[in-house]
Chains A and B, each alone.
Chain A
Amino acid sequence: MSPQSRRPAHQLRRLGSQWHALALLTLIWVLLWGDLSWANVIAGAVIAVAVVTMFPLPAIDMHGTVRPWPAVVLGARFVADLFVASFEVAWKAIRPGPVPHGAIVAVRLRNPEDAYLTITAVMSSLVPGSLVVEARRSTGVVYLHVLDIDGSGGPEAVRRDTLALEERVLRAFASNTVLARCGLVPGDAGTALDAGSTPPSGRGEGDA
């Protein structure tokens, strides 16, 4: 820890910049206790500050914005896919006959930034019939294990699905710069509804 970061003013600024984490931790605390009272909120906030100060984490590069409509699209597709994928895997397990054979497919994501790579990887583990085996942060290549490669339509179909998922993630959370760099210019499919209403808060900061 550098001597500069021990200065109170610096620490305060650091806390201020982490208000998301503080709010999230406080919310978790309140949910854990199960009722919304001042005592709970204050205790949660105190504990959140203590946690953030005592266990500092490196800042992650996420200069994104949240676009409401694409976020809803992402969430709805996620829930639908979760149902389909879960029943598919359960059925493949329970049905008689030979079990499907797997494969490993390499998918190069459009945007290798940590935050988006993580979200896409976590979601692709949960939803399509895939599982992240390795992820290369330097190149943005994700290696997915596919449970039933024939049932999923071959490696190309898996790549297409994963890239479509990443596109939904980027449309929901990435800044306009990132979208433009990835060739997903805002305005077409999915973002048309709010393209004018959401100001791009992270413009110009997208390049990590």
Chain B
Amino acid sequence: MTHVDPGLWTTIADTVAAVFLLAGAFLTLGAGVGLLRFPSLLARMHTVTKPQVLGLILLLTALALRVRSWSAVGMLVLVVAFQLVTSPVAAHMVGRAGFRTGKVDPDDLRPNEFGEPD
């Protein structure tokens, strides 16, 4: 544990970091619960693209507020960028593969506009 001068800004940054930390952990938990509770593959994909990504972003923001070094912030920005770009791609590919191979029950989807002439 590195020693940091306990100044006002440190206290403020730490408080904000604690809030972000809890919010991020809550969202990650939401992703886990959704993963277990949502009934269909497509519904579960939503947890991967939304709460999981923002939860990670909030946790990393908290980390940036705690360490406050530019090189660390650069790498964390990179992590966030990768998450933002890759998780929709992964979710889309998994969702599409599941949809095309019949792992999704079309009767669950009301309305289901797929395949309608447009």
A binding-site residues for B, Cβ under 8 Å: 28, 30-35, 82-83, 85-94, 99-106, 108, 121-122, 125-127, 129, 131-135, 139, 141, 143, 145, 147, 149, 155
Chain B residue with minimal CB distance to A33? B71
Are the C-beta atoms of B72 and A106 separated by less than 8 Å? no
Of the candidates A28, A94, A125, A126, the one whose C-beta lies within 8 Å of that of B33 is A94
Of the candidates B43, B54, B95, B110, the one whose C-beta lies within 8 Å of that of A99 is B43
Given A102-B108, A131-B95, A133-B96, does the pair A86, B54 have CB atoms closer than 8 Å? Answer: yes
- A143 and B42 CA atoms in complex are apart in Å by 12
Are the C-beta atoms of B34 and A92 separated by less than 8 Å? yes
For residue A106, give the distance in angstroms from its CB to the closest CB of chain B: 4
Task: Give the number of residues in B that approach A within 8 Å (Cβ atoms).
Answer: 47
For residue A90, give the distance in angstroms from its CB to the closest CB of chain B: 3
B binding-site residues for A, Cβ under 8 Å: 26-27, 29-31, 33-34, 37-40, 42-43, 45-47, 49-51, 53-55, 71-72, 74-75, 77-78, 84-85, 87-89, 91-92, 95-96, 99, 108-114, 116, 118
Are the C-beta atoms of B26 and A126 separated by less than 8 Å? no
Chain B residue with minimal CB distance to A129? B46
Are the C-beta atoms of A35 and B91 separated by less than 8 Å? no
Chain B residue with minimal CB distance to A144? B113
Are the C-beta atoms of A132 and B92 separated by less than 8 Å? yes
For residue B89, give the distance in angstroms from its CB to the closest CB of chain A: 7
Are the C-beta atoms of B49 and A126 separated by less than 8 Å? yes
Q: Nearest 5 A-B pairs (CB), nearest first? A: A90-B30, A93-B34, A34-B71, A125-B88, A86-B54
Are the C-beta atoms of A143 and B39 separated by less than 8 Å? no
Chain A residue with minimal CB distance to B49? A125
Pull 23 A–B residue pairs with CB atoms less than 8 Å apart, ordered by A. Answer: A34-B71, A35-B71, A86-B30, A89-B46, A90-B27, A90-B50, A93-B37, A93-B47, A94-B30, A99-B39, A102-B108, A122-B89, A125-B88, A126-B49, A127-B50, A132-B88, A132-B92, A133-B99, A134-B96, A143-B114, A145-B42, A145-B46, A147-B38
